[in-house]
Amino acid sequence: PILVVKQAGALFLSGLVGDIAIPAQNAVNSASWVAENAAVSEVNPTYRQVTMAPKTLGTFTDISRHLMHQSTPAIETIVRNDIIKTLSNEVDKKAIQGDGTSNTPTGILSTSGIGAVAMGTNGDQGTWAKVVETWKEVATDNANVGALAFVTSPLQISRFMAIAKV
């Protein structure tokens, strides 16, 4: 299994040791038109640091002696693939919806200061208007660069598939 967030273009920083602070801009700069020999207004955008701390994710699989004695490469592959799938699903889940508590990462949906499109308490029927509004929020924050992707649930995909196309 491949991580959904990685396929969507998330940047993975490997080989890090300890906490890391990444600079981020709080607000964009501005420009102004001025008359000949007039001074341009001073604008001081502010910056912050986004600090990330290492998190540990693990899983435990109990394998019986009987299974180990009858083990073939196929059994090892099945167990290994299950572990990889379990860990990958949890990384995707917390990268998107993590709340930052109990040693878990803060996910995209729990990050303050990013644009959001209201879809109702437990999601809502997707519409083309909501897709366009989502794109607008990303573009408004000047984040519509690089590899962009929509990440949604199978339920929402099925809802989109059921919408009549004209």
Contacts (Cβ under 8 Å, ≥6 apart) of 18: 54
Radius of gyration of the chain (CA): 23
Hey, what amino acid is at 26? N
pTM for the model stands at 0.73
- Sequential pLDDT tens for the chain (166 residues): 678 998 888 888 888 888 999 888 777 778 889 999 999 988 888 888 888 888 899 999 888 888 877 767 778 888 899 999 999 999 999 999 899 888 899 998 888 777 778 877 766 777 788 888 888 888 887 777 777 888 888 888 888 888 877 7
For residues 149 and 33, give the distance between their C-alpha atoms in angstroms, rounded to a whole number.
36
